[in-house]
Amino acid sequence: MPAPGTPPTSTSASPVPPSPTPTTAAPSSSTPATTTPAASHTPDPSRPDDPAQAALFDAIANENAVIFGYGIVSAHSSPEVNALVAEALLTHRTRREEALALAAGQDSPAPLPAVGYQLPMAVDTPTDAAELAVRMEQDSAAAWRAVLEQATAEQTRRLAVPALTDSAVLAARWRARLDRTPVTVAFPGGNE
């Protein structure tokens, strides 16, 4: 997995690993999370070879991980961010369903959610939860940017542009909660 703040490139042969990595059991918040290098992931045999379909597949896998991750964020957040957590979760669930419908309409396979995910960091405090949310939104922006870069169909672009925008806006809102500057980035989903 890339270092925090360094999004994966969309031209790699391996899938964009989601913020939380699939595992067979949900992690305990008291156990420090470890990151797993992307090279050690076994490629999903149902991941398509076509670059546009593969990018959409990866974005759906990322949405599955982000939805799981927001459960952890919710559990460790303070009550004043409940509305932001609920909004982000609804946004990602809606985006995943739209992406699944698009993949089905294109006769493209879609990944199933993992049983659980390993977090890229330990989450024990509200600050940790906000940091995880920023990380997930950055990774989501990278996944949707890859979809946009590889898209060959207009309907795919119509899904990817607002998905990328939503992730960039949510990341900015979480950075603002953390009093981080700059709150926004020039090119969401990239390392420019």
pLDDT of 109 reads 95
Q: How many domains does the chain have?
A: 1
In angstroms, the CA 46 to CA 183 distance is 37
151 belongs to a structural domain: yes
pLDDT of 22 reads 73
Instruction: Name the packing angle between helices 126-150 and 51-76 (round to 10°).
Output: 170
Can you read off the two tokens belonging to residue 158? 């119509």
54-60 mean pLDDT: 98
In angstroms, the CA 27 to CA 75 distance is 13
The answer to whether 173 touches 77, Cβ cutoff 8 Å, is no
3 belongs to a structural domain: no
Range of the domain at 173: 47-111+122-177
pLDDT of 9 reads 37
11 belongs to a structural domain: no
pLDDT of 191 reads 82
In this prediction the pTM is: 0.80
Query: What is the CATH classification number for the domain harbouring 93?
Result: 1.20.1260.10
129 belongs to a structural domain: yes
67 belongs to a structural domain: yes
